[in-house]
């Protein structure tokens, strides 16, 4: 099938040559504005030579997302190939498991699409106009590879606004939460009403890292969601976990999850706004875990978000006993790791504490990073010893 053609305005940049998959609107020659949002286009260079194929959305700052650098049909067979490659990676790193992120957008060669697997359930997030139109191909390929698959599409991500797409209400369901297993623990996931797709698979390696340090004594799990880090701490021998989150629904799944893992006697959920709760908490802990939602959602929020990270980390550090440990993260793609480290240093100074980093981490291998695209490397994690 012939795709409409759009042209690069100037020479191919080093960034694109290296393998970056986004063409910004100011990199394209006039004409792309007439393309209907989501259309698959052929990109030509300024000399009219073939450059690649991708989905185009003239309303988005990211005007084209490349799917291939060679001439290719983007059909069910193409999705089948990408899904198979993605599945092979998951089978290599998580053999015989059935709960993981199967497709991480650009990282798996399908820009704008997220697919999280929860046993037989597959939650699809079409985040762009392009992937909205490609859903039938994605669904056909998924059903072909997983004949028992139950597919669920969620359109409640605020990222859709940037593409001019409607942000829909959460889907309702008569089904209860889905139980998954990770590293010998059970987690309850609400795929319909839960946050994102129901579970944060990206922190798995960092939860494992926490367990490797065998947290002992009292642990504070801030922004605990459905149990995540706290369960790993308990499994590794912690005496007790105080877990704070503002979501009643998340805490109720966490509490039932704690029961199913035999943790109930050592796990206590607290429903509170972490920012407020930290202002009045006087107790100290041997380990404090801090995993806030992104505090920097867009470029214009960078200064405010940076102050937010610094102050939140400072308050959390003050809750760590002398000689204790602090496990902290940031999922803001707009906050580069070196800058985040500066904020941690500022936080320690503000908290009047000495801190040394003893381990750093990033996202789990089911969130593969494209070396040419720093945007695909968003999760930062560090363990600090606090004196």
> What is the set of active-site residues?
331
Among 120, 181, 183, 273, binds ligand SAH (CB under 6 A): 273
Residues 86-115 as x/- pattern, contact with ligand SAH by CB under 6 A: ------------------------------
Least distance from ligand SAH to the Cβ atom of residue 330, Å: 12
Closest approach, Cβ 63 to ligand SAH, in A, equals: 31
The site string for ligand SAH over 292-331 (x = CB under 6 A, - otherwise) reads -x--------------------------------------
Contact (CB, 8 A) for 253 and 240: no
Q: What are phi and psi of 214, to 5 degrees?
A: 45, 65
Min CB(342)–ligand SAH separation in Å: 23
Q: How far is the CB of 3 from ligand SAH (least distance, A)?
A: 39
> Hey, is 85 helix, strand or coil?
helix
Would you state the structure tokens that stand for residue 211, as one six-digit string?
């367990």
Say which residues have a Cβ less than 8 Å from residue 174's Cβ, sequence separation at least 6: none
* Closer by beta carbon to ligand SAH, 3 or else 275: 275
Residue ranges of alpha helices (H) inside 146-260 are: 204-212, 228-235, 248-260
Of 134 and 344, nearer to ligand SAH (C-beta) is 344
CB of 14 to ligand SAH, least distance (A): 36
Q: What are the start-end ranges of the E strands in the chain?
A: 5-7, 22-24, 39-44, 50-56, 62-68, 99-104, 113-118, 121-126, 150-153, 178-182, 185-189, 218-222, 240-245, 267-271, 285-290, 320-330, 355-361, 380-386
Asked if residue 312 lies in contact with residue 290, where contact means CB atoms within 8 angstroms, the answer is yes
Beta carbon of residue 44, minimum distance to ligand SAH (angstroms, whole number): 42
The residue (of 98 and 208) whose beta carbon lies closer to ligand SAH is 208
- Which listed residue (202, 291, 306, 366) binds ligand SAH by CB under 6 A? 291
Q: How far apart are CA 72 and CA 64, in angstroms?
A: 16
* 181 lies in the binding site for ligand SAH (CB under 6 A): no
Residues 210-269 that bind ligand SAH (CB under 6 A): 223-226, 228-229, 245-247, 250
Tokens 């008569």 belong to 174
Please state, in angstroms and rounded to a whole number, the distance separating the CA atoms of residues 324 and 286.
Answer: 5
- C-alpha closest to that of 241 among 210, 202, 195: 210
Q: Between 185 and 214, how does the x/- string for binding to ligand SAH read (CB under 6 A)?
A: ----------x----x--x-----------
The residues binding ligand SAH (CB under 6 A) are: 195, 200, 203, 223-226, 228-229, 245-247, 250, 273-275, 291, 293
């Amino acid at each position: 099938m012939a795709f409409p053609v759009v042209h690069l305005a100037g020479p191919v940049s080093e960034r694109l040559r290296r393998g970056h998959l986004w063409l910004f609107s100011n990199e394209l020659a006039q004409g792309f504005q007439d393309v209907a949002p989501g259309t698959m286009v052929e990109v030509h260079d300024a000399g009219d030579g073939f450059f690649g194929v991708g989905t185009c959305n003239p309303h988005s700052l990211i005007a084209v997302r490349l799917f291939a650098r060679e001439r290719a049909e983007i059909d069910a067979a193409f999705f089948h190939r990408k899904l198979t490659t993605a599945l092979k990676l998951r089978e290599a790193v998580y053999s015989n498991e059935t709960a993981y992120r199967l497709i991480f957008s650009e990282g798996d060669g399908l820009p704008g699409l997220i697919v999280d697997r929860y046993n037989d359930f597959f939650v699809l997030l079409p985040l762009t106009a392009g992937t909205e139109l490609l859903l039938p191909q994605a669904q056909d390929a998924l059903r072909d590879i997983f004949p028992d698959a139950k597919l669920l599409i969620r359109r409640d991500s605020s990222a859709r606004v940037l593409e001019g797409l409607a942000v829909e209400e959460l889907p309702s369901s008569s089904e209860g939460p889905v139980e998954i297993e990770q590293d010998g623990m059970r987690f309850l996931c609400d795929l319909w009403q839960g946050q994102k797709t129901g579970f944060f698979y990206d922190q798995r390696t960092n939860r494992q890292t926490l367990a490797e340090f065998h947290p002992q004594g009292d642990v504070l799990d801030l922004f605990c969601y459905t149990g995540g880090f706290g369960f790993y701490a308990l499994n590794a021998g912690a005496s007790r976990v105080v877990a704070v989150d503002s979501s009643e629904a998340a805490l109720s799944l966490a509490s039932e999850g704690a029961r199913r893992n035999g943790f109930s006697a050592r796990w206590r959920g607290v429903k509170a706004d972490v920012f407020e709760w930290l202002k009045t908490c006087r107790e100290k802990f041997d380990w404090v875990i801090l995993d806030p939602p992104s505090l920097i959602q867009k470029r214009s929020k960078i200064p405010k978000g940076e102050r937010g990270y610094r102050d939140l980390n400072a308050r959390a550090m003050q809750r760590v006993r002398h000689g204790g440990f602090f496990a902290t993260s940031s999922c803001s793609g707009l906050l580069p790791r070196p800058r985040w480290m500066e904020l941690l240093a500022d936080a320690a100074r503000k908290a009047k504490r000495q801190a040394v980093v003893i381990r750093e981490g990033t996202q789990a291998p089911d969130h593969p990073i494209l070396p040419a695209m720093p945007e695909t490397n968003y999760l930062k994690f560090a363990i600090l010893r606090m004196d």
